[in-house]
Amino acid sequence: MFGQFIKDERLAKGIGLREFCRKLEIDASNWSKVERGTLAPPKDEKKLKKIANILGIHPTTEKWKTLRDQANIDAGIIPKDLLSDKDVLNSLPMFFRTIRSEKPTPEDLDKLIKKIRKGG
């Protein structure tokens, strides 16, 4: 998720892997593993903001939220803003049970995410 999102954004901006890694100050071979999903994305908010900056993604946009959320998901982290919302936190076990049994498609999950973001 995260790696493919970053790769798509990078290529859309015409930024090569080596140039991106030079700006990010990271080894290209390690970063290519992130883009392929074989290495976890960075967890550090500063690093995520630096990635966003290189890609021209402003921190107030939906793309920033997607970048951050996908990094958290791929790292197996429930975002702090969700953990601080008692109603959301109480709903998570039911949500997990539901998706385990019904196995929604990626499109179904995208629709659900959009619906949640719109508030219903």
Would you say residue 40 has pLDDT above 80?
yes
Residue at 30: amino acid letter: N
Q: Which domain holds residue 94?
A: 86-120
Looking up tokens 């100050």 gives 25
- CATH classification of the domain holding 45: 1.10.260.40
Cβ-proximal residues to 104 (8 Å cutoff; 6+ apart), any chain? 112
Instruction: Please tell me the total count of domains within the chain.
Output: 2
Are 71 and 91 part of one and the same domain? no
Are 95 and 36 part of one and the same domain? no
pTM of the predicted structure, to 2 decimals: 0.70
Average pLDDT over residues 4-15: 96
Are 14 and 32 part of one and the same domain? yes
Q: Residue 86, Cβ neighbours under 10 Å: how many?
A: 8
Are 104 and 45 part of one and the same domain? no
Structure confidence at residue 81 (pLDDT): 75
